[in-house]
Amino acid sequence: MRTDEIRSFLDHFRDSWTRQDVTSLAACYTDDCLVISPIFSRIRGRANLEKSFVDLFKAFHTTGITVEELVISPDEPRAVLLWKIQSTHVGEVFGMPPSGKPIERSIAFFLTLKNGLIEKETRVYDFTSMLMELGVLKVKPAN
């Protein structure tokens, strides 16, 4: 894939995520994809991934996505996306009922592409801070 093709694909991917369009998002992945995620651990296959998006969007409503960094390697083809995602906690997650709290986090996506689709994705973000924002983890302030 050329750099402009990858960039266009990633724009579509971000737009699908922003709209929380599960069908469109799932179509961005190969049938046998592998996604590694702090929330879902390892997800193998498009059908399982689609279910994880349904579950994710039941818990969090995306209110905005800002692309902070984008690195594309057309020779591999690979890409790294760094997003700042704003969302609202609207459904049960980790046994915690919806709080209506706004959540903001930066997420790095490391993507390996095959035939114009995501074959492997690794998501990296501060899971502990997210749990603290939700109130799942309680911490004492430092002295």
| pLDDT of 136 higher than 80 | no
Do the domain assignments include residue 87?
yes
Q: Domain holding 82: CATH number? A: 3.10.450.50
Number of domains in the chain: 1
What pTM did the predictor assign?
Answer: 0.88
Tokens 């960094």 belong to 69
Whether 51 maps to a domain, the answer reads yes
pLDDT of residue 108: 95
Asked whether residue 139 is domain-assigned, the answer is no
What integer pLDDT is reported at residue 135 of this predicted model? 75
Domain assignment of residue 142, yes or no: no
- pLDDT tens figures, 61-117: 999 999 999 999 988 899 999 999 999 999 998 788 898 989 888 999 999 999 999
Nearest-angstrom CA–CA distance, 130 and 106: 10
Q: What are phi and psi of 57, to 5 degrees?
A: -75, -15
- d(CA 7, CA 94) in angstroms, rounded, equals 34
Strands of the sheet containing 29-37, edge to edge, are 41-44, 29-37, 117-124, 102-114, 78-89, 60-73
**Residue numbers of the domain that contains 129:** 3-134
For 52, the 3-state DSSP assignment is helix
Dist CA 137 CA 32 (whole Å): 35
CA distance 122 to 12: 18
